[in-house]
A and B are shown apart, each in its own frame.
Chain A
Amino acid sequence: GAVVSQHPSWVICKSGTSVKIECRSLDFQATTMFWYRQFPKQSLMLMATSNEGSKATYEQGVEKDKFLINHASLTLSTLTVTSAHPEDSSFYICSAPDDLRGDEQFFGPGTRLTVL
């Protein structure tokens, strides 16, 4: 199956700093990638849809200036949490549908962010 990687797998940062998370499709191209946030014992909440070569589409209630998304190539999307605060601590997951297969989405292993 198609593989999606995320880097880093975990990160600890100080309050006020910015953190960048990478999502890569390793063996397929993805014009669209999705970013989710998962709180403990809760569902995955879609944050935004990342579109290659254009602006991301954010879900209602998600601050686009806080969660910067860049989809510069067909295999890479990045999520930057700017001026992070403890309430941003969470598990961030990306997914990508394989453009050639259409239906199925492939998920990255997630990134655990802890803001002190």
Chain B
Amino acid sequence: GDSVTQMEGPVTLSEEAFLTINCTYTATGYPSLFWYVQYPGEGLQLLLKATKADDKGSNKGFEATYRKETTSFHLEKGSVQVSDSAVYFCALRNTGANSKLTFGKGITLSVRP
């Protein structure tokens, strides 16, 4: 079945540091890939997405590129801020799967001033 693997956390960075959160997936077919963010006390929000190989999703300074050859969708940001502190989930949705999402375990990011 489909699965998503995220790097182990938590991650603690200083403000303005470079961020990489690894995500790899296993799926049949051609899934769409997503990053969701959950800020403290709030529901999950879509951060960015990519629907086909080599697509790059970007939002709020975050980027992720759909790499079919390595089955990866790593999240990056060049300079993190304290307000980026949250839990980040990588997810996939396979074709014909009536919008069901498969999530990774999530990783907590804490950014120090």
What count of chain B residues pass the 8 Å CB interface test? 20
* CB contact list, B32-47 vs A, under 8 A: 32, 36, 41-46
Q: What is the distance, in angstroms, from B104's C-beta to the closest C-beta of chain A?
A: 6
Say yes or no: A49-B46 contact (C-beta < 8 A), given A41-B105, A44-B103: no
Main secondary structure of the interface of A (DSSP, over half): strand
A4 and B46 form a contact (CB under 8 A): no
Tell me which of A1, A44, A97, A109 contacts B99 (CB under 8 A): A97
Binds B, one of A65-73, A78-86, A100-108: A100-108
List residues of chain B with CB within 8 A of the CB of A110.
43
B41 and A32 form a contact (CB under 8 A): no
A43 and B43 form a contact (CB under 8 A): no
What count of chain A residues pass the 8 Å CB interface test? 21
B68 at the interface (CB under 8 A from A): no
Say yes or no: A32-B98 contact (C-beta < 8 A), given A41-B105, A43-B105: yes
Say yes or no: A105-B43 contact (C-beta < 8 A), given A43-B89, A43-B105, A44-B89: no
Tell me which of B4, B99, B105, B106 contacts A105 (CB under 8 A): B99
| Most chain B C-beta atoms within 10 Å of own C-beta, residue among A42, A93, A97, A103 | A103
Bound complex: CA A42 to CA B6 (Å): 11
B46 and A104 form a contact (CB under 8 A): yes
Say yes or no: A93-B100 contact (C-beta < 8 A), given A41-B105, A42-B105, A44-B89: no
Q: What is the distance, in angstroms, from A48's C-beta to the closest C-beta of chain B?
A: 11
Tell me which of A32, A43, A104, A109 contacts B104 (CB under 8 A): A43
Say yes or no: A108-B43 contact (C-beta < 8 A), given A44-B89, A49-B100: yes
A46 at the interface (CB under 8 A from B): yes
Known: A43-B89, A106-B43. 20 other contacts (CB 8 A): A34-B101, A41-B106, A43-B103, A43-B105, A44-B44, A44-B89, A44-B103, A44-B106, A46-B100, A46-B101, A49-B98, A93-B43, A95-B44, A95-B101, A104-B46, A105-B99, A105-B101, A107-B43, A107-B44, A110-B43
